Structure 1
Amino acid sequence: MQVHTRHTPAFGVARISLAPGEAVQAVPDTLLASSFGITEVQQSRGGLRAHGKGQPSVFTAPKEGGWLDLAPAGPGDVYPLEMDGRSGWNVHRQAFLARPATIRVDPGWQPLQALFGGDNGFLEHYSGTGPLVLACAGPVDALKIEAGELITVRPPYLLAYPDAVQCRLRAVDPSGPQSIRTGEGLALDFAGPGTVLVQARKSR
Structure 2
Amino acid sequence: MQVHTRHTPAFGVARVSLAPGEAVQAVSDTLVANSFGITEARQSRGGLRVHGKGEPSVFTAPKEGGWLDLAPAGPGDVYPLELDGRVGWNVAKQAFLARPSTVRVDAGWRALQVLFGGDGGFLEHYSGTGPLVLACAGPVDALKIEAGALITVRPPHLLAYPDTVQCRLRAVDPSGPQSIRTGEGLAFDFAGPGTVLVQARKSP
TM-score (norm 2): 0.99
Alignment partner of 2:47: what SS? coil
Structure 2 partner of 1:121: 121
Deviation at 1:157, TM superposition (A): 0.1
Structure 2 partner of 1:156: 156
Misfit runs of 4+, over 4 Å: none
Deviation at 1:184, TM superposition (A): 0.6
Give me the whole-angstrom Cα distance separating, in 1, the residues matched to 2:155 and 2:50. Answer: 17
Structure 1 partner of 2:167: 167
Deviations 1:114-170 (A, max 9, x none): 000011000000000000000000000000001110100000000000000001000
Is 1:95 matched with 2:95?
Answer: yes
Deviation at 1:18, TM superposition (A): 0.2
Identity percentage over the alignment?
Answer: 88
Give me the whole-angstrom Cα distance separating, in 1, the residues matched to 2:123 and 2:196. Answer: 14
Deviation at 1:27, TM superposition (A): 1.0
Deviation at 1:175, TM superposition (A): 1.0
Structure 1 partner of 2:192: 192
Give me the whole-angstrom Cα distance separating, in 1, the residues matched to 2:49 and 2:115. Answer: 21
Give me the whole-angstrom Cα distance separating, in 2, the residues matched to 1:43 and 1:168. Answer: 35
Deviation at 1:112, TM superposition (A): 0.4
Give me the whole-angstrom Cα distance separating, in 2, the residues matched to 1:56 and 1:183. Answer: 24
Count of residue pairs the alignment pairs up: 204
Unaligned runs of 5+ in 1: none
Alignment partner of 2:119: what SS? coil
Give me the whole-angstrom Cα distance separating, in 2, the residues matched to 1:163 and 1:105. Answer: 14
The one-letter code of the counterpart of 1:157 is: H
Structure 1 partner of 2:132: 132
Alignment partner of 1:113: what SS? helix
Structure 2 partner of 1:147: 147
- Structure 1 residues 1-204: aligned runs within 5 Å: 1-204=1-204
Give me the whole-angstrom Cα distance separating, in 2, the residues matched to 1:22 and 1:5. Answer: 19
Give me the whole-angstrom Cα distance separating, in 1, the residues matched to 2:49 and 2:139. Answer: 25
Deviation at 1:48, TM superposition (A): 1.0
Alignment partner of 2:143: what SS? strand
Unaligned runs of 5+ in 2: none
Give me the whole-angstrom Cα distance separating, in 1, the residues matched to 2:187 and 2:48. Answer: 26
Deviation at 1:203, TM superposition (A): 0.5
- RMSD between superposed Cα atoms in Å: 0.5
The one-letter code of the counterpart of 2:70 is: L
Give me the whole-angstrom Cα distance separating, in 2, the residues matched to 1:158 and 1:49. Answer: 21
The one-letter code of the counterpart of 2:65 is: G
